[in-house]
Amino acid sequence: MQPLLSIEPSLLSSHITGFIEIDTQAIAQNLKTLQAMLPYSKCAPVLKADAYGFGLKEIAPLLRSKGCHSFFVAHLEEALILRGLLSDSHIYVLSGLLPQTADLFIDHSLIPVLNDFGMVKSWVEEAHKLSKELPCVLHFDTGMRRSGFDHTDLTKLLDTIELIGILDIHFIMSHLVSSQDSQDPLNQKQKKLFDALRDRFPKVPSSLADTGGIYLGPEFHYDIARPGKGLFGLYTPPPGTPTLLSCLKLMGRILQIRTARKGESVGYGATHVLTRDSKLATVGIGFADGYDRRLSNKTFMVIKGFKAPVVGRISMDYTVIDVTDVPESLCYAGGWVELVNDILTLDTLAHSIGTISRELSTGFGKRLARSYK
């Protein structure tokens, strides 16, 4: 595993206007927390979408070094990158076996999640060609209506169950719809459907729980759990349950400080009008960097513990904050502000604009420098 780099803001190149600091120790601690909740189940991280935006190339070797042997990604292109990083791990591809991709799965020892009867037939044909068992996962839809065997394909499979005798089924799986809400009756409804499917495959391991499913309790854990967002602190656990650490800080550089008078407006559309004579700072991060435009006039940044409200609309490259109440010695052109930190988390920001933290974490732009601490 390559050493991970940590950068102090003062050591960054003078042209850098924004950077993300990712705390790998916090990620490792979150993994440990989740594993402790799974005493009888394996923990197989989900690293789709570039590890939820945290960086697949840096995070996958870290988790492997902490004892993880199986991983999930969404698409085949992600699996090929991950295989280049991990030579000895099980890599499962959730989107399954698309036409003309079988050779890539076989050549790179990747494992498809079979989502319909057509995928099963194609994988069986490949197994017969090679005269050997091929590994796979069977995914059954118990309520998501997104992927997995529907009623029609399930009937076809059960009517020709001998067809899959040549396949090495690692486990069967389904995906919870509302695991973040422990009181939602859909959780028990899906579990009941999943248990009925498990009865049809009595010797095959099972997987149902995502991060939220882990927090639903042991009855949802089965043999394999698939945490994703929880590893990166992008999930707020229920009160009284093990907590997860925030893993990310987003920093932006102050480009300019200016004064403005009471009654003057700030930014596109004049959505904020100053109620006093003010001191404003322009920060070199905007929605092109993933600082969501919906946060306009709704959040704040932090300068050495002092809150500075975002005023006016966030534009593509810049955000304006009101630094009137920040000591002058702490606020200067070239200085740094915190847009996301351990208190002002992605979850907090996401909730304030009616979205989820994963939308924010996967939206960070390429201009942002990165450091791994």
Token pair listed for 79: 């699996």
180 vs 153: CA distance, rounded Å: 29
Q: What is the three-class DSSP state of 9?
A: helix
Burial of 301 per CB tally in 10 Å (0-12, 13-18, 19+): buried
Of 33, 10, 30, 13, whose CA–CA distance to 22 is shortest? 30
* H/E segment holding residue 71: strand 70-73
- Catalytic residue list contains 372: no
Radius of gyration of the chain (CA): 24
Of 19, 26, 68, whose CA–CA distance to 47 is shortest? 68
Q: What is the three-class DSSP state of 288?
A: helix
* H/E segment holding residue 301: strand 300-303
**Which one is catalytic: 48, 191, 229, 249?**
48
CB atoms within 10 A of CB 192: 10
- Catalytic residue list contains 132: no
250 forms bridges with which residues in the sheet?
20, 340
* H/E segment holding residue 255: strand 248-260
**Which one is catalytic: 268, 298, 304, 332?**
268
Burial of 352 per CB tally in 10 Å (0-12, 13-18, 19+): middle
Q: Which residues are catalytic?
A: 48, 268
